[in-house]
Amino acid sequence: MKLSPLALSLVAALCAIPASRVHADDVTPASATTASTAATDDDTGGTRNRQAPKVHELGAISVSAALDQARNALSPDTGSSQYVIDQKSIQALPLGAATPMNQVILQAPGVVQDSYGGLHVRGDHANLQYRIDGVIIPESISGFGQTLDARAIQRVSLLDGALPAQYGLRTAAVVDVTTKSGADLGNGGSIGVTGGSFGTFNPNVSLWGSSGNWSAYFTANYLQNDVGIENPTASRSPIHDHTNQVKGFGDISYLIDNDTRLSFMFGFANNRFQIPNRQDASPQFGYLDVTNFDAANLNEQQNEQTRFGVLSLQGKLGATGYQVSLGQRYSGLQYLPDDIGDLMFNGVAGAINQADRASTLQADFSTPLSDTHTLRYGVYGSYDRAGTNTHSLVFPADADGNQTSTTPFGIFTSNRIVAKTWSAYVQDEWSIGQNWTVNYGLRGDEYKAFGTTQSQLSPRIGVVWQATDSTTVHAGYSRYFTPPATEMITAANIAAFAGTTNAVKNYGNNEPLAERSNYFDVGVSQNFGSAWTLGLDTYYRQVHRLQDEGQFGQALVYSTFNYRLGRVAGAEFTANYDSGPWSAYFNFAYTKAMGKDVITSQYNFSPEDLAYIADNYIYLDHDQKYTSSGGVSYALGDDTKIGADYLFGTGLRRDGAVPNGASMPAYFQLNLNVSHDFTFDRFGKLHTQLALINALDRTYQLRDGTGVGVGAPQFGPRRGLYLSLQKDF
């Protein structure tokens, strides 16, 4: 890869920065404990969303734990909003460590659930960045959120709002994962299984340990059930909805010396899905001499693969801490149609094969300039190659789209995209007295793809005021640059279907554009004693070339399009309690997300919708006015706990008198659980957990199949009972 002039100028500026002495004061882990307890299982040491004090003494912490803290010091914690979910909180969820990653993140404020496991944070469509132990993992075609297993997580933080200059590209939120470490856990492992309703069978195994300078952690699990994708009907038993999924994660580390560590992190996921069927659909096209087809017999399937590996070197150059990482991520997706069924219902049967391979370089540095200034700077580069091959069967059609023959014929289309991204940032964390901290910086991003180059310099500033020992106020402004996903339907591919039952009109520009926005965020956090933490956060985002995505076609793959203008605003309230046997949390969020004037990929829209949206703001399809989550857990003793949590939403958007002009009905889902640790003389301790999901069995619909870019209807889960057994050794 060649550095662009923008990247070269920023890197040259970074390399000219002098180094000076590191202070222990600059180590800022996301923890509310002292350094002496930082290596315990619950290293967040407090309630969710509690601000962390700075660690002043390393004391007798192990070398590995000290390096973990030094890695945390590479990232600032000022100006943005942070919500922490630790291992203890994950275990308190109904399914415990068997909870899917997206369901874990749903417990944070401002996170809205969607179909196919999708998540929306603060009115954005996806646009999430995943970091594992400080390293960016590029997004995959199928959505990385279902690749990582919650069993590997020590702590996950959701960072959103006005982010510091270190964070860019995917900016709706940063899902910052700290994984478990073999050096901290000792030598051992765990084996278990979760099973229950809808044919669920989910065995898992984890191994960890250390020897000399080596340490390692591995986990893998297999999942099968009969509700792999949300049911498109309200029934308890989806038709043709089986899934088989295999996931794994590993981390191997070698201590070169007390200040230097070499790590290799890897993960994989191979997921197979049946596409669930509806019985109320009727064929729209004839196929040879066949005039009828039972929709319940459709046999559409989708397979997804994700693999990633990252080699990281962490250490010190003089007084400067650093972490340099080389990584690669491969993602693949295959949609396998039911040729006859898809032709008769949709007029097209397309076998889609997508592949995307991204190679990355990331380097982050932290240099204390004085007792009051810490300089952080770094670079990131990505070389992304994506390709799509589609073999389609279609019928010939006249100019009005009417089928003129029942004999199908084949069309082959192919896309090849190379995307190059370079980013560099520099920022200074300035401590003013005892109560004020200012983090200001500049970020540069350049994105080359689709034959064009787009770039931006983005200023950032965040301020934290420690008003009292228990009151923290933060405010920030960030300029954001968000490149599109490496997917595009070209004009040539559209033209290939002219005169067929898959023909569309090309209304304009098919090249997705990078989004540019101004983000403002103000919030306050208040502690009451050691048990209560309350928080209030407000935000406003002014957007140009607002990116959105929709499912345009049968495959569960999203396509990017742009609104010319967008505006998003909202507020979040959080309350957390942790004292003795009780712990509880409550989140409530308000969001309003709107866009105006579709300026790319107009072929997905009707002329009437385009004309209306050109002159009027409409709600984005993933807008949900009010969202809430909460939970409570009570320990009956050392061995027994009971708990409950819930999700509430006023509903995503659907079509009304205008596009996205109405809302789906409100929903409420209550989950219950009880856990107990049995101890046997020879067998030892056995952890058991019983979960009742959607205990009230309230039927609710996430989507009804209408709205901009919305595919089939999807319903939330029906009541299910699940039992987990877990044995450590």
Query: Residue 35 — pLDDT band, cuts 50, 70, 90?
Result: very low
**Res. 1 pLDDT band, cuts 50 70 90:** very low
Amino acid identity at 412:
F
pLDDT at 377 over 80: yes
Q: Are strands 128-132 and 173-179 parallel, antiparallel or unpaired?
A: parallel
Q: What is the largest CA-CA distance in the chain?
A: 83
Which of 61-75, 199-213, 217-231, 274-288 bottoms out in mean pLDDT, i.e. has the lowest?
61-75
In the chain, the amino acid numbered 603 is Y
Q: What is the mean pLDDT of residues 641-657?
A: 95
Question: Is residue 378 over pLDDT 90?
Answer: yes
CA end-to-end distance (rounded Å), the chain: 47
Query: DSSP code of 667?
Result: E
489: its two tokens: 């339907």
Q: Are 698 and 667 in contact (CB under 8 A)?
A: yes
Distance CA 75, CA 27 (A): 10
Of 254, 172, 177, nearest to 213 by C-alpha is: 254
Q: What is the mean pLDDT of the chain?
A: 87
- For residue range 195-220, list pLDDT tens digits in order: 999 999 999 999 999 999 999 999 99
| Residue 505 identity (one-letter amino acid) | K
Phi (first) and psi of residue 673, to 5 degrees: -155, 155
pLDDT at position 36 over 60: no
Q: What is the mean pLDDT of residues 471-494?
A: 85
For the stretch 159-198, pLDDT in tens is 999 999 999 999 999 999 999 998 888 899 999 999 999 9
Report DSSP letters for 90-127, one per residue: HHHSTTGGGS-HHHHHTTSTTEEE-GGG-EEETT-SS-
How much is the pLDDT for 56? 35
Residue 654's closest CA among 589, 607, 702? 702
Which of 22-36, 53-67, 99-113, 709-723 is least confident? 22-36
Copy the structure tokens of residue 113.
Answer: 């659930």
Instruction: Pick the more confident residue, 690 or 64.
Output: 690
Q: Write the pLDDT tens digit of every residue in 404-416.
A: 999 999 999 998 9
CA dihedral 490, 496, 501, 503 (to 10 degrees): 40
Residue 556's pLDDT band, with cuts at 50, 70 and 90, is low
Give dist(CA 670, CA 644) in Å, integer: 7
Phi (first) and psi of residue 427, to 5 degrees: -150, 150
Exposure on the CB side of residue 228, measured as CA atoms within 13 A: 23
- Section 4-26 average pLDDT: 38
**Domains of the chain, start order:** 5-728 (2.40.170.20)
Check whether 396 has a pLDDT greater than 50.
yes
**Which tokens go with 51?**
């601000």
Local confidence band at 40 (pLDDT 50, 70, 90 cut-offs): very low
